[in-house]
Structure 1
Amino acid sequence: MITRDRARFLLIAAACAPDFGPATARAAFLVTPEGFARAEQSAEDNRYMADATAYDVAAALAAHRRLHRALAASFPVVAFPGDPATPDATFPNNAFATARVDGRGRLVIGRMRHEVRQRETGREDIRRFFADVLGYETVDLSTQTSPCELTGALVIDRARGLGFAGLSERCDEDGARRMHEAFGLRATFVFDLAPGEYHTNVVLAVLGGRAMLYAPKGFCDAVDAEAIASLYAPHAFALDPDEAAAFAANSIALDSGCVWMSARADAALHPATRRGLAQAGFCVQSVDIDAIEAAGGSLRCCVAEIY
């Protein structure tokens, strides 16, 4: 079921047990920021991107190595090389995502809005890694016309099989439907992001299927945010504008007890938010990736989960 109807969605979602699948991934992959530079096409609808003078390739590569080392201490992490022709590829979760559908691994390839990012989805090394090495089937959405930037546009509660699809230039209603089907979800709620927001995962994080961080002003209608929050109460935490601007919602749980976010987000986190996460059973781990955040995304955007 995929719907814009809040009441209908909540009725279905509230009855979904956390038995859909593992709440967190078993591994992840990254793409290194080779040729790290401002992609002007992406800047058309990503207000978080810095101007070109803020991009530092050496600093971005160093930040990415810190991220890889930190995450690899928790679970397996594979890194693919970047390409100067795809300057946004360091955020691979928008282009590639995985799921387990009917017990089988599935690679989902997204349809990117901008041509500079469409180049990423044609990478044969990533496609072949999943098809030939892991034996995953491929669902390729990259050739259809509706934008659907995967787990940038669609936040997924993997434990209950629920999707939260925020519409923007990067995802339309048909794209949301295609993602709902590709991930094999039980129910997906479709809503509009606030003007100026480009991805849902900048304003919403569902953590391990049991907690939530969200920026109410990132939703066109705050009632939509509160409806989603009701599913995770009392562990749904509204972020203030400072926390949201620091990418606190662009965070991810990679196991049952830890939330990862950037050092910038960690520093902006209010004590009440931190206490709330602790009460939900999560500690906070962070990595300094300031150099990468110049490109308009943060830690969660760098992590493509492998389920």
Structure 2
Amino acid sequence: MKTGPLALTLGDPAGIGPEIIVKAWAQLRQTGPAFLVVGDSQSLASASGSGASIVRRVISPDEAAKVFPDAIPVLDIPLRAPVISGQPTSAAAKSVIQWIETAVGLALSGQVCGVVTAPIAKAPLYEAGFAFPGHTEFLGELTQATSFDGARGPIMMLAVPGLRTTLVTVHEPIAKLPSVLSIEKVVNAGLVTAQALRRDFGIEAPRLAVAGLNPHAGESGTIGREEHDIIAPAVRALRDLGVDATGPAPADSLFPEEMRSRYDAALCMYHDQALIPVKMLDFWGGVNVTLGLPIVRTSPDHGTAFDIAGRGLARADSLIAALRMADEIATRRAA
């Protein structure tokens, strides 16, 4: 059976994280999944509109599960300096990092069944010396992630009903893509994706559609050589390793409904190639899943939204979907 609730990190306290956590709890308090917030309890109390009355400091995940129907359980790790909604500051960076580290530690020790992370802003973290491009890479370092068969995570997946996309590269500038793509990276991402589809999503024989990099998938090498030199050999290698992979396919033809019925995940070469179709299908409900970790991790598929933070406008749809998906994956892994 699963152990403990989910650990939910507060994210950037100046963003919409505290607000959407309160809204998610209000919707899930009776049905679950239960979660333990790792972060600053005062930020949650301020975002609730009800003050501290619906926030409960706890000392363990077991205690959190018991109080969840009545209050938002918080493992309180206070901010080192005050934060104002909508005004990001590097002064909060050490706390944000500590919240993530603490949640991952709880998951690695088996005290919680998974980690869900509210959005962080990278610029304030970089100002404080944060050395990772984002959550995904930091979680890989914290967990020293290695998947099955020698394939190594972390790999980012975006998921909405009807579509899953995974990324070979995540936060690389477009100008660098031809130099950073390799057969090994495409094969690794494909293996991790196939393994996760089996283990975490219950798909016994997963099908992968592999996107090309260039327009028209290179048009037989006349609009770029990456498909011929890198992606096609990687697809052949994946098939040799037992993965049902097809491609490289023109990315502009991969995402109509009829095409999506032919695969279980689309393996994309770069960030926007994977995220745009997901957000077009369900802008509010997308989930970011990190594959290839020894722990379960999901997050909302949106940012900190500083422009609306503290105004009561943020929607919790994506966070609620992330919590439910993390719970579903943890249940499958336990089984």
Band the TM-score falls in, shorter-chain normalisation: 0.3 to 0.5
Relative to the length of structure 1, the TM-score reads 0.35
Query: Which structure has greater helix proportion?
Result: 2
Task: Specify the structure having the higher radius of gyration (Cα).
Answer: 2
Query: Which structure has greater strand proportion?
Result: 1
